Structure formats: C-alpha cells, structure tokens
Chain A
Amino acid sequence: MIANLFQWCRPSELRKLGIAGMNKRNGSYIARYNPRALYPRVDDKVETKILANEFGLKVPELYGIVQYQSQVKQLGKMLEGRESFVIKPSQGSAGKGILVILGRDGEFFLKPNGEKLTLHDLQRHVSNTLSGLYSLGGRNDKAMIEYAIQFSDAFDGFSYQGVPDIRVVMFLGYPVMAMMRLSTESSDGKANLHQGAVGVGIDLITGKARSAVQHGRPIFKHPDTGRVLQELVVPHWDELILLASQCYEMCEMGYLGADIVLDKELGPLILELNARPGLAIQVANNAGLLPRLEAVENLTRAERIMASAQDRVDYAQKHFA
C-alpha cells in the first residue's frame, strides 16, 4: 500500500492502454446505459432470483426469506435439516452481511474458517440485516437464506475458504472482460478485491488465467495456498459465459457485472448481478476496458438487437481475446 504511493503514471499512458476511470465508467456507461428504474432488478437479490427463474437462468436455490423481526425467532425452524446455507441481505452491497455456514457441530453452526456460531448469533445477524445494517442507504431489508454452493474441485488450492466466483462484465450483453475472484485469509473468505481477495483475469475464449493481482499488485501464486495461478482453468467455460450473456435480456442493464459461481453438481449459477461493477477487473486482466466498450458501442443497432446471446459470446471471443 505504502509502496503504491510512490508509483504514478501519466493520464496519457492510461489513455493509451484504454483504461476506464471511475468518472468515465459512471458518466459514459452507468449513467447512460443503466436506467435507474431497473436498479431493483439487480440491487434486490430476491427480485433477481425471481427474474432468473422466469427466464430459466440457473441460480442457487432459495430456502427462505425472513422479512419481519417477528420471523427471526423462527429462524431455527427454518434452518432445520439444512447442513449448509448462506444468509445474505437482499439489498446488500460489496459483499456486506453475507454469512456462510458450511456445517453443523451440535448446536453450533460452522463458518468456513471453523468459527462456531450459535443460533443466537445467526438471529442477531438476521435481525441486523432486517434493520438495514448491510443494505444500501440503511433501508430496511429482507434476509435471504439460500443454497450454499458446493464449489467445484477445479479450484482446489486456488481459494482459501469461501466460494471463488467469476465476474463477467458485459456491455449491451456482450461479455467484455472476465475475472475470477479468489478469497484469501485476509479477505475472510469473501471474494471482494478491496477486502484482499485475489483477482485473476480470465481469457474469454478458453477460460484460462491470464494474469493475477492482489491489493492492486501483480502476483503469481495464491498467497495462502501457494498454487501457481497461471494453472487456473475455469471448467464449463462456454456454458458459463453464455449464462452471463443471457443476463442482459433478463435485466436490460447496458453495463452489467454478473457474478457466477461453479457448483460441483449444478455447474454455473448466477450468484448476483451488479449494476456498478468495479474497475479492478482491468488490473486483473492487465488490459483496459475502453477499446472493447467502444467496439460494442460502434456496432449498428441492427447488429446488436438481432444478435442472440450465443452470437454475442461468439463476437466477444473473436474480438476481445
């Protein structure tokens, strides 16, 4: 972090690489292509799930919703028979308030790092969630309890606890860039880069790793497991990228990030959508977004509208690899 302070570059260098800055992303893409009225489709995960089911896109199964404080007492009953599950706020942001339980030990619930939580702890977490502690702007929220992903063996050794997920950024439905987010010890099993997760740029054709960063610096090995990140390959890649691309029809957001996880049995599942995907993906891929965004913007309306999700994936794989 301190070392970063002494390293600067010129705006012209960034422009040459086609790096999109915050202002550019917010002004030219998010503000222009993401209508405010559609935000609930991605900000409210319950709504996303309902939509995805309608469109036949695969998502983790919803076990239940806690909407009122009075329902908090029945949490124990709701969790009966569930060995593993995830509790998350419906309108959380930046991974806030997501509690993963991977097993039980008597009356205790086990977090991925082995920490034991009581039912009481879970109830407090749900209660906080309902009172809006984790949601955007502190609004009252719902707590969702859903299927905990059994993550694929393909990522053994690439992630320290938690579910590694794949973020695909799409522009007008065209996948423009992808990265894998690997949780680390310092990110507490969470997959957010600013919390210390590792970002691995993924090749759009093959699903293979291109380059990797942690804390904004290039790295080659996973900091906790020591596995060489270059060896990482995302299985079911074509299926995954197609699933991401189909999210465009579902939520009609121009500039969209889809967070997708790979389940051992179920394959790619949409974990959540994001209308304001971050810019760290550029660092992970060691490439700028702008040339790709502009290429899509320069397509004719007919080309864009007539293209199916598969066509868009083909285009991306041809031009953005």
Chain B
Amino acid sequence: MNSKVQLRILIFILAAVGIGTMLTKHFQIGYPLIPKQQIPIWTIEAKVTFQATGDPVKVSLAVPGEQARFGILEETGSSHDYGFIPAGNDPMIAGFYRSVIWSKDQAKGHQELYYRIDVYKKKSAEDVELHAPEVHPTQKYSVGQLAVAANEVITTAKRHSADSETFVGQLIQTLNNQSNQNAQTLIASAKTDLERARLLNTLIINGGFESHLIRALILSETTTKQALQPIIILIDGEERHAFVWGTPKPVKHESTLAWQRGGPSLIEVEGGKNARVEFSVVKQELPASFVLEQASRQREKTLTDFSLTSLSIEQQDSYRLLLTIPFGALIVVIMRNIIGIRTTGTFMPILLAMAFLRTNLGPGLILFVIVVSAGLTMRAYLSKLDLLLVPRISAVVVVVIGIMVGFGIVGGKFDLQIMQSVTLFPTIILSWTVERLSVLWEEDGPKEVGIQTLGSLVVAIMAYAAMGSPTLRYLVFVFPELLLVALAVILALGQYSGYRLSELMRFAPLVKDNKEGAA
C-alpha cells in the first residue's frame, strides 16, 4: 500500500479512536468537557437507633445501589465497636437490594449506628440494568371482607380506565373518595403511609398490572430527619411511572433516590428492639472532575480502571504536566512548519515554556532576559580563556546559578515574590540556552541571535499559554486519549508540503521581479 494512503488511514484511526473514546467517556460516564462544571452531591446519613437486649446483635440495613439518575461516590458505615460488612456489588443483586450488616457479640441499652453515602447526580439518566424485584403481594387483601372491597375497587377503576397509567389514577381517585364504602373499608385497614402504599401496590398487581414498591428519599436541599417515602413504581413496558398515595397523576421522579427496592424490610435487627432509622441529607456542589474521579474509582469499570485518576495526587500533578507536552510540541510544529518562525533548537521553546510554567510568565521573561544577557557577557569572557566546550558550559551553569541565587537573596530581602520562584529546573534550561545563543552569536552574528531568540520566545510563550491552560490540563488529564488526536494532527501536519507563511515574505522579491520582467 502507498505510504501516503497508509499515513492517512493511520491519522484517521488515531483521530477516530481518540475522539471516539473521549465522546464515549463524556456521554456514557458523564465526564464534562468543561473543567469548572459543578455537580451536586448529597451526603446522606442514616442513623439507626435501637435498644439492645444484651444478646448478640446483628443489624441489617437496606442501602441504595447504583441508579439511573444517581451514582455512588463513597459509602461508609461507622459505629463504635461493631463489626461492619459493607454492601457488595453483586451485579445480580446490586441495584435493587443491597444491605450492610453491623454485628457485635453482645450489646445492651441504647445503640447508635451510622451509615453514610455520598451520591452524585448524573448528567443524564443512564440505563442501569435493574431487575424488577420479586413481588410479594400482601395476603391480607385476598381473604374475607377486605378481598371483596378490593375487588370492588379494582372493578370500578378498570371500568373507568384505558391503560395501566389511567387505571392507577382511577384506583387512587376511588380510594380518595370519602363516600365510597369499599375504599373506606380498605383505608381503615391501612393506617400508615407505608401500609397504604402496600395496599395500592397490591391492588395494582391484583388488577393485572406490574408494579413494585420503593422507599425513597427526595433529594433537594439540605434536610435533617427526613423519612423514606413509599412510592409505587408502575411498570409500563419500557416506561416507569411513579405514584404516591393520594395523587392520581404520576409524580416526577428525577430527584428521587430509591433507597430500598422490594426485598425484606428496611432494617432487620436481631438482638434489639424499637429500631428506628433517621435520614439527614447535606447537599453540596463539587467540581465535576473531582466527583467523577471518585465515582470512577467506586464503580471500577474497565474503561476507567486505567484512568490516571487512580494515581496519587503528586503523581497526578507530574502527569498533568507531562500530558501537556505533546500539545507544546504541536505548537512548535505549527509555528516552525506552517508559520516558519526560526527558533534556537527544535524543542527549546517547549523547555522554555516548562521553565516559565515553574516561574510564571512575567518573572520568567524578566529572568530570561537578565540571565541570558549576563550569561552571554560571561560566556564571551570565558571563551577567551581557552576552555574546552564541556567545562565552559559547566562554568556558564555555575554563573547562571550564581545570578539566580543573587536574585533569590535580593528577592528575599525586598520581599519580591517573583524572585523566589527560581528553581533548579529553569536553571539548567537557561544555562543551556545561554550556551546555544553564544555559539550562535559567534557563528551567525547578533542579528541571527536576535531573530532566533525572539522566535524561541514567541513560540515558548504560546506553548506556555497552551500548556498552562487549565482547560487543556483538565482535558488531557481526564481524556488522555487526546494524545492520539494530537499525534494525528502532528502526523497530518507532517504531510504538509505547502509554503510556510514566512516564505511568502522571503520569496516575494522573486514574484515582484518576474512580474516586472513580464510587464
């Protein structure tokens, strides 16, 4: 195959893989493309209290799993002296019934257990495969007077409805009807909200439709002592409708966190009594990148397993810088091959940009000008002393360090912040620059030194702007596959055989001459 075609295919594949992976991460996991985006997260604390009877204690609390609209950041159970078994991530069970277990060989008196979970709101609802929980309709409504009343209510509702959704609406309306004898009989048997929800759920199932009961928290602002709300989820094909007691229309359930879905009861206590669960919710906004880093660690999906976010903070920091270098290189390619700016050494501008990143641009530039001029003067003198190349460069390094230390001391004395940003890293780069420039001075004269220094600085400042940009740093860190895109662009630019911008100036006299010749 023709090498040009190969290259084009390669470029296409690299770009497609890079952009594709990035978009997948964006849309599937919800990594935002803009760094400063805030994501609401809720810290929910369930406080379990009970009276221990002095026997071995085992407390099992139902806890929420990954859901279509909410993801889990972190969950912890804390209780003095209790053994704690966290909720598993068994895919068959996860999502509709998870529970944590506290246990202790012996306890007496008032006990408090805490379970904490941080959930974040996903950018868009995602399909989480949730198995419908097994349905256990209450047997209470299938015998005697209650059964008759239930059947009457179901028949009435059926008569006035067209589909499952209107059926449930009718059921609720009938049950709301104060003058309906059957309804009053049923209500009289169900005193609490939970029992009434169970009643409604049973009526729906007996009416031939599919539904289940969840107990949910409505997440909005910070609240304390919130109780779980029983909600009936009507399954209508692919769709889910949420109903609450007393409202014949489906309610919106965007901010509903299903705490428990089917399964046994919310809390089961062995060796205790009077168990109560209270919920308090704290809402806060956190940077999206932070939230998603946490979330990806929590879910341990293959795509994010290899993510850089699993590294320690210090490692992450150096990778952030490392990952931006290819974009500095991209800028060098553009400036040299498309624009045609002459620079000292091919990648010197990137090194300078990295030095500027350490010192910040303003101080970096000042330092550059001062050190380079002082260094060049010094170097001119050293070259008269018949030194060999390596000792001479080393001598320049020493002189440059001396100059920088001098600035450090002066800066410290006068409390100039800018002078204190000097580090080892830019020192070596600056010394090397001094050496390169002085050789250039000897061979090509001061004009060439001026042109190339200016060129290097311009490119370095541009690379600095790119490499220091928080947006780019965020993007390459969260989407390291952007490196493939950078590579694709660099490869594509490598094919460019057109004129450089500077050549339009360089060869202009030729064009002018030929025109005059023709005229």
Contacts and interface: CB of A to CB of B under 8 A. Distances in A.
Given A7-B508, A216-B506, A131 B337 contact: no
B500 A22 contact: yes
Nearest to B436: A138
B443 A134 contact: yes
A9 B507 contact: yes
A161 interface: no
Nearest to A24: B497
B386 interface: yes
B519 interface: no
A10 B517 CA distance: 18
B512 interface: yes
Interface string A259-272: 00000000000000
Interface string B407-437: 0000000000000000000000000000000
A131 B390 contact: yes
Interface in B465-519: 494-500, 503-514, 517
B188 interface: no
A23 B499 contact: yes
When A and B form their complex, which 4 residue pairs have the shortest distance between CB atoms, in order from nearest?
Answer: A131-B389, A21-B499, A9-B511, A7-B508
Contacts of B445: 195
15 contacts: A9-B507, A9-B508, A9-B511, A10-B504, A13-B511, A22-B500, A23-B497, A23-B500, A27-B494, A27-B495, A27-B497, A94-B444, A131-B388, A194-B444, A213-B509
A84 interface: no
Contact of B503 (A14, A120, A131): A14
A209 B211 CA distance: 97
Contact of A21 (B500, B505, B513): B500
A207 B505 CA distance: 29
A24 B505 contact: no
A128 B391 CA distance: 12
A199 to B, nearest CB: 12
B505 A11 contact: no
Given A14-B504, A195-B445, A24 B498 contact: yes
Nearest to A7: B508
B511 A17 contact: yes
A133 B439 contact: yes
A17 B504 CA distance: 13
Interface string B370-387: 000000000000000010
A14 B386 contact: no
Nearest to A288: B510
Contacts of A28: 497
Contact of A218 (B448, B505, B509): B509
A59 B510 CA distance: 34
A7 B509 contact: yes
A19 B507 contact: yes
B340 interface: yes
A247 interface: no
Interface residues of B, number: 32
Nearest to B338: A23
Interface in B4-49: none
A33 B90 CA distance: 62
Contacts of B495: 27
Contact of A286 (B439, B505, B508, B514): B514
A276 interface: no
A200 B439 CA distance: 29
Given A22-B340, A127-B388, A217 B498 contact: no
B511 A21 contact: no
A23 B338 CA distance: 9
Contacts of A133: 389, 439
Interface in A65-122: 69, 94, 96-97, 120
A20 to B, nearest CB: 9
Contacts of A195: 444-445
A133 B340 CA distance: 26
B435 to A, nearest CB: 9
A18 to B, nearest CB: 11
A4 interface: yes
Given A21-B498, A24-B497, A5 B505 contact: yes
Contacts of A5: 505
Nearest to B3: A32
Contacts of A286: 510, 513-514, 517
A137 to B, nearest CB: 10
Interface of B: 337, 340, 386, 388-390, 439, 443-445, 447-448, 494-500, 503-514, 517
A195 B517 CA distance: 28
Tell me what chain B mostly uses at the interface: helix, strand, loop, or mixed: helix
B455 to A, nearest CB: 14
Nearest to A1: B447
A283 to B, nearest CB: 6
A15 to B, nearest CB: 8
A133 B444 CA distance: 13
B191 to A, nearest CB: 84
A127 B510 CA distance: 43
Contact of B513 (A120, A128, A138, A218): A218
B337 A23 contact: yes
B187 to A, nearest CB: 84
B507 A14 contact: yes
A319 interface: no
Contacts of B511: 9, 13-14, 17
A281 B192 CA distance: 97
Contact of A282 (B448, B500, B510): B510
A36 interface: no
Contacts of B506: 4, 216, 283
Nearest to B510: A283
Nearest to B512: A7
Most interface-central of A5, A14, A132, A211 (chain B CB within 10 A): A14
B505 A7 contact: yes
Given A96-B443, A194-B444, A283 B389 contact: no
A132 B436 CA distance: 13
Contacts of A283: 506-507, 509-510
Contacts of A124: 386
Contacts of B514: 17, 286
Nearest to A186: B445
Interface in A201-244: 211, 213, 216-218
Contacts of A218: 509, 513
Most interface-central of B500, B506, B513 (chain A CB within 10 A): B506
Contacts of B508: 4, 7-9
Contacts of A138: 389
Contacts of A9: 504-505, 507-508, 511-512
A23 B333 CA distance: 12
Contacts of B388: 69, 127-128, 131
A127 B386 contact: yes
Most interface-central of B386, B499, B505, B511 (chain A CB within 10 A): B499
Contacts of A131: 388-390
A70 B176 CA distance: 110
Nearest to B385: A124
B132 to A, nearest CB: 63
B502 to A, nearest CB: 9
Interface in A14-66: 14, 17, 19, 21-24, 27-28
A247 B498 CA distance: 29
Contacts of A1: 447
A216 B509 contact: yes
Contacts of B499: 11, 14, 19, 21, 23-24
Nearest to B443: A96
